[in-house]
């Protein structure tokens, strides 16, 4: 079921980006650099806002709930007893990396006068790698080795989805900080996937 969901969500994400890229800016006032004829007193305070596009907005709006779920999954593991130290360390590392990135992306959206959650309602489970509510429940209830295996397998798929979204931002985004973050996500999460696959093989 998850495989089908992931395939559909990849197409959905690409479609949303295409639509967003073709649409006129939802809030042109926040992008004075796009309209040089109206760069009045608001322009100096919105210089960074002028350097983003629809792909940057979509990236932040979709990656925030994606990261939030990774933090939620990590918290679920950290609340359990009898979990291997290497997996607890991994959960702490994921949480430490992604929580600050959520704050950073939220700040971008606010500076662009954009909602933190997209208007099309993509607040979570339609995206690449997102874990279903039923699978989250299984993770929450599992213990010991079963919990470790579930966490690793779910997080591998979750990371793969984030990497796919990040690569789209790298190729289509405009905002330099967002592009850099997308590259950092690819680098760090590809490394973590290899770590998780190695851990999974030991269970």
Tally of residues, the chain: 203
Cβ burial, residue 148 (10 Å; 0-12/13-18/19+) = buried
* Tens of each residue's pLDDT in the chain, 203 residues: 444 443 344 443 344 334 333 433 444 333 333 344 333 333 333 444 458 999 999 999 999 999 999 999 999 999 999 999 999 999 999 999 999 999 999 999 999 999 997 544 444 445 778 999 999 999 999 999 999 999 999 999 999 999 999 999 999 999 999 999 999 999 999 999 999 999 999 99
pLDDT given at position 137: 95
Among residues 140, 149, 132, 112, the alpha carbon closest in space to that of 33 is found at 112
Positive or negative torsion for Cα 49, 116, 67, 65: negative
144-172 helix and 133-141 helix, angle to the nearest 10 degrees: 140
Q: Which two tokens stand for residue 43?
A: 């322009």
Residue 42 DSSP class? T
Domain range holding 70? 2-202
DSSP state of 102: H
Tokens representing 56 are: 């940057």
CATH number at residue 132: 1.20.1260.10
Q: How far apart are CA 160 and CA 128, in angstroms?
A: 8
SS3 for 105-131 is: HHHHHHHCCCCCCCCCCCCCCCCCCCC
Provide the number of structural domains found in the chain. Answer: 1
In the chain, what is the greatest distance between 2 CA atoms, to the nearest angstrom? 64
| Whole-number pLDDT of residue 118 | 58
Q: Say what the pLDDT of residue 117 is.
A: 77
pLDDT score for 126: 59
């Amino acid at each position: 079921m998850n495989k089908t969901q992931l395939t559909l969500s990849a197409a959905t994400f690409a479609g949303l980006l295409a639509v967003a890229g073709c649409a006129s800016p939802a809030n042109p006032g926040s992008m004075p650099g796009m309209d040089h004829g109206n760069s009045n007193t608001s322009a100096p305070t919105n210089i960074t806002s002028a350097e983003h596009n629809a792909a940057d907005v979509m990236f932040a709006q979709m990656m925030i709930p994606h990261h939030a779920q990774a933090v939620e999954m990590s918290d679920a593991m950290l609340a359990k007893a009898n979990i291997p130290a290497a997996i607890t360390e991994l959960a702490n590392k994921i949480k430490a990396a992604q929580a600050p990135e959520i704050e950073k992306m939220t700040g971008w959206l606010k500076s662009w006068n954009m909602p933190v959650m997209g208007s099309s309602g993509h607040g979570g489970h339609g995206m690449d790698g997102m874990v279903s509510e039923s699978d989250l429940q299984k993770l929450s209830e599992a213990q010991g080795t079963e919990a470790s295996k579930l966490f690793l397998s779910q997080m591998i798929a979750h990371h793969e989805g984030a990497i796919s979204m990040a690569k789209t931002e790298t190729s289509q985004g405009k905002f330099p900080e967002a592009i850099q973050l997308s590259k950092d996500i690819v680098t760090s999460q590809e490394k973590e996937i290899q770590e998780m696959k190695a851990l999974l093989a030991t269970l």
